[in-house]
Amino acid sequence: MQIKENFEIKSLTTYKIGGKVKKVYFPESQAELTELLRELDEYIVLGSCSNVLFSSNGYSGNVVITSGMKNFEIRGTKIYADCGVKGPLLAQKTCEASLSGFEFMIGFPGSIGGDVCMNAGAHGQRISDCLISCCLFDRDTKEIVYKKKEEMEFSYRHSLLHCGRYVLLYAEFELKKAPQEEIKALVDRNLNFRKTIQPSLATPNAGSVFRNPENDSAGRLLDKAGVKAFDMERVKVWDSHANFIVNKGEATSEDVLELMVKMYNAVKDMYTIELKPEIIFIGDKTEKEEELCNILYKTKTQK
């Protein structure tokens, strides 16, 4: 297992933002990950670093990156996937196997661990729709436990994993047989949507900035509030979708937070709706970042 000290985390994040992390671990199997988590006291586990904003000030703690955990298996209509398996890869492989249910993941840069944690979904599909069970590491008892779908507390952008007690090791899914041409048409449609409406990862971003409020769309509210005109020196709101912030080059975490607050205030002033961030902030905050995070997150973020 690779272990790197004072690691420049921005090389891994889809935002291309973040300072030095004290120690980063790269396990490649469930056994390595489990052994590591039993040894460490404090840590953050991440996969593709696609839904996070790391402080440019760095992080004086341990980060575990599961991107090396790539094992998955297709057995009939069932899929077994390690937490580090990329969603787009599974979307492609299940399409080839004429299995439907993962079409929505083709445009997501995330891994299975993050997708299950946030109950990722798009285009009328959610990962919880086809999940059967999860194999988890219990941080309190340091034991491996299994949870059925009904025990995972799934709701919009939420699961049991948000409580912080559990870490996903692997998940079991059951998909449905369908004609391959129908699955491929849906995959192509979703990919085309991503390419035409949302920024590609060639333009550094971390996906949707804010969660959708109940019975509404954050993108719609932000658009109506005029945030597409928000263009700062190093960050801007994406031209084609108001719920994305892109890094124009050499942006800092503070730049992103400042723009998030501007977007948040624009919607609050127009609709009296307080949007909740979908992006997770991690790191040792500066005073300014502390102030901005208090506005956006209301509670203290991870540090």
Residue 195 burial (C-beta neighbours within 10 Å; 0-12, 13-18, 19+): exposed
Tell me the CATH number at 232.
3.90.78.10
Q: Among the three residues 127, 160, 195, which one is the final residue of a domain in this structure? A: 195
Residues 180 and 79 in one domain: yes
Cβ proximity of 114 and 50 under 8 Å: yes
Residues 86 and 178 in one domain: yes
Which tokens in the block code for residue 90? 């599974």
Residues 50 and 81 in one domain: no
Write the CA distances from 59 to 51, 171, 198, 269, 297, integer angstroms: 17, 29, 29, 34, 19
List of residues 6+ apart from 276 with CB closer than 8 A:
210, 211, 213
Neighbour count for residue 135 (Cβ, 10 Å): 18
- Phi first, then psi: give them for residue 86, nearest 5 degrees: -75, 135
12 occurs within a structural domain? yes
Active site residues per annotation: 157, 208, 278
Write the CA distances from 94 to 49, 57, 119, 184, integer angstroms: 24, 40, 19, 10
Burial letters for 71-91: b for 16+ Cβ neighbours within 10 Å, e otherwise?
ebebeebebbbbbbbbbbbbb
Q: Which residue range forms the structural domain that includes residue 16?
A: 2-65
211 occurs within a structural domain? no
Alpha helices in the chain (DSSP H): 30-39, 87-96, 112-117, 180-197, 218-224, 253-271, 287-297
Residues 233 and 174 in one domain: no
Distance CA 270, CA 177 (A): 46
114 occurs within a structural domain? yes
201 occurs within a structural domain? no
Distance CA 38, CA 64 (A): 13
Residues 96 and 153 in one domain: yes
pLDDT of 299: 58
Residues 141 and 79 in one domain: yes
pLDDT of 303: 38
Distance CA 234, CA 71 (A): 38
**Residue 182, helix vs strand vs coil:** helix
Which pLDDT tens digits describe the chain residue by residue (303 residues)?
Answer: 999 999 999 999 999 999 999 999 999 999 999 999 999 999 999 999 999 999 999 999 999 999 999 999 999 999 999 999 999 999 999 999 999 999 999 988 889 999 999 999 888 899 999 999 999 999 999 999 999 999 999 999 899 999 899 999 999 999 999 999 999 999 999 999 888 888 887 899 999 999 999 999 999 999 999 999 999 999 999 999 999 999 999 999 999 999 999 999 999 999 999 999 999 999 999 999 999 999 999 854 443
Give me the number of domains the chain comprises.
3
pLDDT of 302: 44
Residues 118 and 161 in one domain: yes
Residues 121 and 178 in one domain: yes
Residue type, 191: L
Tell me the CATH number at 22.
3.30.43.10
Nearest to 55 by CA among 254, 294, 259: 254
Residues 56 and 85 in one domain: no
